[in-house]
Structure formats: C-alpha cells, structure tokens
Amino acid sequence: MKVDNNLKLDQPIIEKKPIFQASYPSYLKRSLLRKVINLIYDILSIIFLPIGICRYIHYKIHTFLGYYLFVPSQAYSKKEKIYKYLFNGEKQLVLQKDYLNEGREGLKKEFGAKEINIKTAGGEKLNGIFIPGKNSFGRTLNKDAPLIIHFLGQLGRYEDLWHYDAMSNVRKCNIIIFNNSGVVKSEGRASKKGLLIEADSILQYAIKKLRVPIKDIIIHGHSFGGCQATFLASKYKEVKLLNDRSFATVEKAMYYMAQKFFHQLFSSFFIMPFVLIGKLAPQKVIDKIESFVKFHKIYDDEKLLRPRTLAFLIKAVSSIIAYFIGKIAIIFDWNLEPEKYWKRVRGKKLIVCLADGKDETIPFEASLLKNVNKQDREFMRVLDPEAMHWRPFKKEISNKIFRTLGL
C-alpha cells in the first residue's frame, strides 16, 4: 500500500487548564524523626537569635548564589539587551524581550510547539514548551509518543533553541523543555532542592498528563542540566538517561574551572611581555621570540611552564584559591552530585562528551566520564572538531546518540 507522505495527523491537544499540579515526591519527604529534629531546630532558632540570624544569612546567600552563579539564567533573563550570536561567528546586540518572543513564536510556527505551564510540588509555576515530533512518514506524533525531557544548562532558556536551530535534529519523538524557577516566565527563585522538585514535577506531568509510558521517556540533561537529569533517573529505574557534556559534582566543576581561570590569570602577567613583543616588534625579533618560546616551552594554553619553580608556585596558589571556591558549593548547600546519582541509575544510560580536553567550558578532570567507575561507564565521545560545549551536535551525531538509547 502506498503511503501519502504529506498526510498528517491532527496536532496533539495539550490541555492548558486546569494547570497540572504535581504531588510531592515520596523520596524527598522527611521522616518523622527528621521532622521532629527540624521542629526543635526551628524553635531554637527563635529562642536563640544568633542561630536564627545565621540560618537566614545562609538562606539568603544560597539563593543569591543560585541567582547569579548556579542558575544565572535568572539574572541573565532580566537584562534589557543581550548579544545574539550569529552563525557566521559575529554577534548582534538585541532587545531581550523581542529576542525571547521571537524564539518562542518561532518554535510555535516552525515546529507546531505549544506553550505549557505546570505547578511544581513546591507550588511554583513553571513555564515550558511542548514540541511535537514526526514519524518517518512526516506524520505528527500523538502526545503519548516517545518523549525527551530536556534539562537546560546554566544560561539556557527554551526560547534560545529556535535561534540556534537546536530542535531540527531530533524529530522522531516529542520534546518538552521547561525554564527553571525565576527564568523568563517561570516563577520563584532557584534553589538546590527546588531544582530537584522541579525535575520530578516535570516527569509527573509527562506520565500523568501526557500519559507517556515511563519506559518511552528519555531524560536528557545538558551541562548543569545533567544534575537534574541524572538525579531524576536515579529515582525512576525505567527511564533512559542521556547525560550530555556534564560534570561529576558542582564542587569539582567549580574547583577545576577556578583553577584554570586563576592559573591563566597569574600566568598572563609573565606571558604578557612575549605577547606584546609579538605584536609590536619587527618580524625578525618576533620570529626569534617565537622560536625561543617554542624551544624552551615557556608557556602553553595561556599557562606558564618555565621557569619551573615559578610555574609550580602559580599552579599551587591557583589550586589553593580554587579549593576554597569549590567549598562554597558545600558550605552553602549547592553541591549537586551527578557522580553519586549515576551509580544508582538502573535504566539504560549514556554519557556523551567531547574528546579529552576539547570541552572549552568543563575541564576533563571535572567531567562525569572522568570520575565514574570504569565498569559503570557507558559513553560516547564526539570527535567532531566543530563540536563545542554549547553548540548542538550535527544531525548524524544526534541520530547515533539517540539510536544508542533505543529511539
């Protein structure tokens, strides 16, 4: 029988009212003993004012760090103007309000996407988008078809995806993406516990409202979103997990990123003379300086290598500073740990990363792949020289990744 490739099913109906209300996940509920301990702690915080003040300060710093450091898309979304990066490598200053509206409407017009809102178990409204997929005959899938739940990176908003053509690669399943609390139309302020509650609430929406069988759900977390995705997969054994260019723990990510930053910063003071000579001196002098630097291996990747004593001191000081920066994640309760969650994932799972040292954002030492047990590593290295941390993969790479997960 000949199949008409132009034949399409009706667009799936996504009910907007009443707004879906998620229930509180049982695994996050406190035990009776824990509730009693917290009650006593609350009473002591009222009686002994210094304890209460310390708790309040800790909470304010926790939310401040969430707003500006761990989920900076909250602060970024409040800017009046932002840079839009063009495909030719240039950037253009645009009004953010227009940029977001254009991205949201672009997804609706080009992919038939539908805007959705849910209420998390914590009572906050999350705003997201449902993007219907198409089968191999070009027919629009039903809302209970195989589904990807995508968790965005730190600066990600679903409105960005249309601008950077990130949705055209995956079309044999439906996709839902929500902005985190405090981002664009989503309410509240991001917190560590709040992010985990959000993730569970979104999965509940997929199962209870869209009625997608849990075995047909792939949880895809990119970068910081890998924390939410891996945590969620550790709680639901039937879902499939795609951890995409993410890290082992927030503490390790902060440590290695800070170490690299300060190592390059302190090295720059000693490398700068070579750089200035390379720009201002005659060509003969430049050639001699370049030969000298290369022969004696003075520096590499903006890091000083010689003299060795000075290079060692710079690295040591950078490591000490990075150690204390990394501890901020623990002190102020932001140490999400995908490395630990990964061990508890029982369903099909896959780590996707760039070739060693090619990720310009997350150092390989901090990556999830580097830190998980070798017997528990199911991974795919992307060797495409054009691949970057924030750039969507090419269509053939995306297809291979999702085929590996059975899509």
Report domain extents, the chain.
31-70, 252-331
Residue 107 has, within 13 A of its CA and on its CB side, a CA count of 28
List of residues 6+ apart from 252 with CB closer than 8 A = 326, 339, 365, 366, 371
Q: Looking at the predicted structure, is the pLDDT value of residue 5 above 70?
A: no
Q: Looking at the predicted structure, is the pLDDT value of residue 12 above 80?
A: no
Distance CA(327)–CA(324), nearest Å, equals 5
Residue 284 one-letter amino acid: K
Of the chain, the percentage scoring pLDDT greater than 90 comes to 63
Q: Looking at the predicted structure, is the pLDDT value of residue 242 above 80?
A: yes
Q: So what's the pLDDT on residue 341? A: 96
State mean pLDDT over 113-125: 94
Q: So what's the pLDDT on residue 385? A: 87
**Nearest by Cα to 361 from 208, 73, 154:** 154
Q: Is residue 400 packed enough to be buried (19+ CB in 10 Å), middle (13-18) or exposed (0-12)?
A: middle
Q: Looking at the predicted structure, is the pLDDT value of residue 87 above 80?
A: no
At 157, list the tokens.
């908003």
**Model pLDDT for residues 322-366, shown as the tens digit of each residue:** 999 999 999 999 999 999 999 999 999 999 999 877 899 999 999
9 vs 100, higher pLDDT: 100
Q: Is the dihedral of CA 116, 119, 121, 126 positive or negative?
A: positive
List of residues 6+ apart from 59 with CB closer than 8 A = none
Distance from first CA to last CA of the chain, Å, rounded?
26
**Model pLDDT for residues 280-322, shown as the tens digit of each residue:** 888 888 888 888 888 889 998 889 999 999 999 999 999 999 9
Q: Looking at the predicted structure, is the pLDDT value of residue 9 above 70?
A: no
State mean pLDDT over 67-93: 89
List of residues 6+ apart from 87 with CB closer than 8 A = none
Beta-carbon count within 10 A of 1 CB: 2
**Model pLDDT for residues 21-56, shown as the tens digit of each residue:** 999 999 988 888 888 988 998 898 889 989 999 999
Name the phi and psi angles at 123, rounded to 5. 90, 5
**Nearest by Cα to 73 from 195, 174, 167:** 195
List of residues 6+ apart from 282 with CB closer than 8 A = none
Name the phi and psi angles at 100, rounded to 5. -70, -45
Secondary structure of the chain: what % helix, strand, coil (to 5)?
45, 15, 35
